[in-house]
């Protein structure tokens, strides 16, 4: 079984990543009957006898689409097949490590929770179990580690369904990290992640998107940048006006 051609920048062999989770499929070599003049190729616990002079290749797929060029190898007349260059395997290990990452969907609370008042400073936050995730893929002699770091969170106010329009509609508040958790003894206007909703009374939704930055490192390469991925969730929220009645006696 061959390996992708070596490249000075392993990340360049990767396509734009639409997300963390994805499927993988690899073609397998046919099992041929043993012969006295065949070469044995061992991969993990699998052993396949290959005829001398046979040209074989490997190509990797993602969601049914080829993502690497075929890497050809010609089976020699005798002796073991040479191990592939570690640098040629590294892009696959980077991809496998990144595929293991699963960034959790945001679970955003607001304060006040559930609903707010017009012109009241409302704190926004999407706490995460951790702000850094990592995973490693390895074969003997070569390791690759992918790391996802939470960079920012976007809170987008969606128009009310079957409700009145508002100046808040389609407004997006972008906050560093996961936002600002509410602290009762802190001046509300000092929050780095807050919004004052306008009238009228209405039921709306807030779409929360977390942005994670991906990088990779290896024991045979200093590493590089893999771009960003996102996780999104939408939660209901209500803006409720209050009326005040003044009575005189």
Which strands, in side-by-side order, build the sheet including 60-62? Answer: 24-26, 60-62, 65-66
> Taking residues 122-131, what's their average pLDDT?
89
pLDDT on residue 190? 73
- The mean-pLDDT minimum among 30-34, 63-67, 70-74, 237-241 falls in 30-34
3-state secondary structure of 216: strand
Tokens encoding 87: 């640098």
Paired residues of 125 in beta bridges: 179
pLDDT on residue 87? 86
pLDDT on residue 63? 60
Tokens encoding 247: 């009575």
d(CA 36, CA 2): 22
Residue count of the chain: 249
Highest mean pLDDT among 74-78, 160-164, 176-180, 212-216: 212-216
Phi, psi at 86, each rounded to 5°? -55, -35
Residues 78 and 37: beta-carbon distance below 8 Å: yes
Highest mean pLDDT among 10-24, 44-58, 181-195, 229-243: 229-243
CA dist list (Å): 119 to 197, 239, 240 = 6, 10, 11
Q: What is the mean pLDDT of the chain?
A: 76
Residue of 244 and 117 predicted with greater confidence: 117
pLDDT on residue 60? 63
> Taking residues 131-137, what's their average pLDDT?
94
Give the tens place of pLDDT for each residue, 179-192. Answer: 888 877 766 557 78
Give the tens place of pLDDT for each residue, 57-86. Answer: 666 666 666 656 556 667 666 655 566 788
Nearest Cα to Cα of residue 195 among 230, 231, 170, 177: 170
- The mean-pLDDT minimum among 14-18, 132-136, 217-221 falls in 14-18
pLDDT on residue 145? 97
- The mean-pLDDT minimum among 70-74, 101-105, 129-133, 195-199 falls in 70-74
Residue 110 has pLDDT above 70, yes or no: yes
Residues 78 and 53: beta-carbon distance below 8 Å: no
Residue 4 has pLDDT above 60, yes or no: no
């Amino acid at each position: 079984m061959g390996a992708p051609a070596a490249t000075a920048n392993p990340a360049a062999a990767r396509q734009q990543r639409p997300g963390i989770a994805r499927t993988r499929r690899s073609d397998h070599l046919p099992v041929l009957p043993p012969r006295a003049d065949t070469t044995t190729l061992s991969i993990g616990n699998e052993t396949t006898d290959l005829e001398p002079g046979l040209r074989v290749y490997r190509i990797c797929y993602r969601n049914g689409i080829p993502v690497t060029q075929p890497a050809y190898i010609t089976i020699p007349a005798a002796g073991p097949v040479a191990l592939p260059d570690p640098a040629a395997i590294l892009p696959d290990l980077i991809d496998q490590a990144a595929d293991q990452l699963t960034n959790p969907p945001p679970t955003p609370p607001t304060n006040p929770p559930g609903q707010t008042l017009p012109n009241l400073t409302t704190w926004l936050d999407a706490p995460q179990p951790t702000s850094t995730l990592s995973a490693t893929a390895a074969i003997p002699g070569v390791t690759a580690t992918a790391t996802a770091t939470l960079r920012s969170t976007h809170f987008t106010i969606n128009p009310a369904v079957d409700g009145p329009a508002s100046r808040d509609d389609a407004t997006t508040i972008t906050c560093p990290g996961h936002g600002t958790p509410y602290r009762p003894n802190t001046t509300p206007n000092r929050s780095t992640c807050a919004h004052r909703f306008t009238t009228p009374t209405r039921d709306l939704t807030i779409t929360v998107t977390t942005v994670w930055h991906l990088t990779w490192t290896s024991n045979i390469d200093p590493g590089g940048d893999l771009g960003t991925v996102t996780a999104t969730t939408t939660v209901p929220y209500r803006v409720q006006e209050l009326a005040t009645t003044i009575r005189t006696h």
